[in-house]
Every structure is written in C-alpha cells, then in structure tokens.
Amino acid sequence: MLVQGAALICMTLVSGFIAWTLALVALGVGTALVYPTLLAAVGDIAQPSWLGVAVGVYRLWRDLGYVAGALLAGALTDILGIAPAINIIAVITAGRPR
C-alpha cells in the first residue's frame, strides 16, 4: 500500500510520458504486491469448508471499496481539482491502519 501511495504522489509531481509511465508501473507493482497477500490472508484464516464464502465476503467488501473510492475521488476532483484529489487518495491509501 505504501508503494501505491508513493506512486500516486509521483503522478502529481512529475510530467512527461516516461515519468508518468514509471509512476504507473510503480502503481501496478504496488497493486501486484497487495492482491495475493490479501487473498492469502483470507485463505490462511478460513476453514476449508467455508473458504468460498470467506473469499466471496472479502471480494464484496473489496468491490464496495472500489465504488466508494471512485465516488470519493470524483467528489474531491470536482471540489479541489485533480492533483489535490490524487494526493488525498494517496494519503488515504498509504496511511490506512494496518
């Protein structure tokens, strides 16, 4: 999540195709680090008999987070502009409780 937050901050600080591409690659790497870890955590705590339900519940909350994040990002962009909105989302992403 820290890699994702740093990549988002970089997106607001850099300009040019190469710099943006590197920031987006970092964002993808951060996402690739998070996804398997979260699914593995669900798999580690769920009993085999209810693993499917546990993964389904996890994915429900994850997908609801996408919806909430998109609405929040859109509202912040309308109010503050794109760079401040991305910075706020970066802080939320990197600073969430662990």
Q: Where are the domains of the chain?
A: 2-95
Decide if 27 contacts 7 (C-beta within 8 A).
yes
At 26-72, the pLDDT tens digits run: 999 999 998 888 888 888 988 889 989 999 998 999 899 899 999 99
Query: What is the per-residue pLDDT for 18?
Result: 96
Q: Is 47 helix (H, G, I), strand (E, B) or coil?
A: coil
Name the DSSP letter for residue 46.
Answer: S
Query: What is the per-residue pLDDT for 34?
Result: 87
